[in-house]
Chain A
Amino acid sequence: DGGITQSPKYLFRKEGQNVTLSCEQNLNHDAMYWYRQDPGQGLRLIYYSQIVNDFQKGDIAEGYSVSREKKESFPLTVTSAQKNPTAFYLCASSIPLGEKLFFGSGTQLSVL
């Protein structure tokens, strides 16, 4: 199905390693988001982007980086500075200004 695609479904990170999670959408949405989902804590906003070549930090941006070179793509890099990276990561997109979000199926990141 089209919409918003996250890959891989499962990802493992070694100590000191950077890993990149992919998020692609074919909905022609301007805004894209990354959330981290931990049990009992709901979704916490990592980064969001309202247009190409622009992005803002969310509530827990430390240890993460993003880029938005294309409208369709919003990759998230989990750097070695993120000391507790094990979590479920969700990407979403929307048309601008508070409209509803469309979510991907998520990536489970674990530390080896």
Chain B
Amino acid sequence: AQRVTQPEKLLSVFKGAPVELKCNYSYSGSPELFWYVQYSRQRLQLLLRHISRESIKGFTADLNKGETSFHLKKPFAQEEDSAMYYCALSGQGNNDMRFGAGTRLTVKP
């Protein structure tokens, strides 16, 4: 069975500070990892996925298979980054996407 763990429910940083949202997973096969974001009064939407190796809104995430982690990082947080962030996993070739409990990020001015 697959499981996604986000150890921090709340995370608060000041504007301009680095931010890291932690995500650990357990899965016996080859995982597909994602980060989703939900801004206030908006729908949940994809932020980035590991196979794209992209940087979206300054965020990056590296899949570390040895540590089974997919932490989300941004070097300089902005107030508009304040949102709820969810890490998600699906098995390669499967459709059963599982989500973590989420981390609420607050960026203070």
Contacts and interface: CB of A to CB of B under 8 A. Distances in A.
A89 to B, nearest CB: 12
A64 interface: no
Interface in B59-96: 86, 88, 90-96
Interface residues of A, number: 25
B43 A56 contact: no
The bracket for how many chain B residues form the interface is: 20 to 34
B44 A103 contact: yes
Contacts of B101: 40-42
B99 A97 contact: no
A43 B34 contact: no
Interface of B: 6, 9, 32, 34, 36, 43-46, 49, 86, 88, 90-102
